[in-house]
């Protein structure tokens, strides 16, 4: 068995995300959010699971059209096909891990970061090509 240990100090920064692990089976990012940031748009993934493990603070998620709050130590999982949105921090800064399985989601983040640096926004075709379906 091979064990991969990635130091956060060596993480690749992709916008607000720090890429910690990029494997065929798993992609893992670390995020830090300040209160008052905008939530993500509701979407789903047809081919992968999107999970969030709260390290510090409190987050609010939109899952299947309902608000769900999660504090440090909570794990929230959006299985394939589950409509969800990127969280917001509640009351104070929050830090969390975002895991995608299977892996490969880092390519979306790299392309999105490059697009935004050019002042471009993703269209529906780009999102679908990365297993993101807006609702």
- Averaged pLDDT, 16-31: 96
- As given in the structure block, the two tokens for residue 90 are 């509640």
**What confidence tens digit (pLDDT) does each residue in 109-125 have?**
999 999 999 999 999 99
Give residue-wise pLDDT tens across range 69-113: 999 999 999 999 999 999 999 999 999 999 999 999 999 999 999
Cα torsion 41, 57, 22, 114: sign? positive
DSSP state of 65: T
Q: Give this prediction's pTM.
A: 0.90
- Domain spans in the chain, listed from the N-terminal domain onward: 19-134
pLDDT of residue 10: 77
Record: fold of 19-134: Jelly Rolls (2.60.120)
pLDDT at 127 over 90: yes
**Mean pLDDT, rounded, for 37-45:** 93
């Amino acid at each position: 068995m091979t064990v991969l240990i990635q130091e956060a100090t060596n993480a690749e920064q992709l916008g607000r995300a720090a890429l910690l692990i990029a494997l065929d089976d798993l992609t893992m990012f670390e995020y830090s959010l300040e209160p008052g940031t905008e939530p993500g748009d509701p979407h789903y993934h047809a081919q992968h699971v999107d999970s969030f493990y709260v390290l510090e603070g409190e987050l609010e998620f939109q899952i299947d059209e309902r608000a769900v709050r999660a504090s440090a130590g909570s794990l929230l999982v959006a299985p394939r096909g589950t409509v969800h949105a990127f969280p917001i921090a509640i009351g104070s800064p929050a830090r969390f891990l975002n895991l995608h399985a299977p892996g490969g989601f880092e390519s979306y983040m790299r392309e999105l970061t490059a697009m935004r640096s050019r002042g471009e926004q993703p269209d529906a075709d780009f999102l679908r090509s990365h297993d993101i379906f807006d609702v």
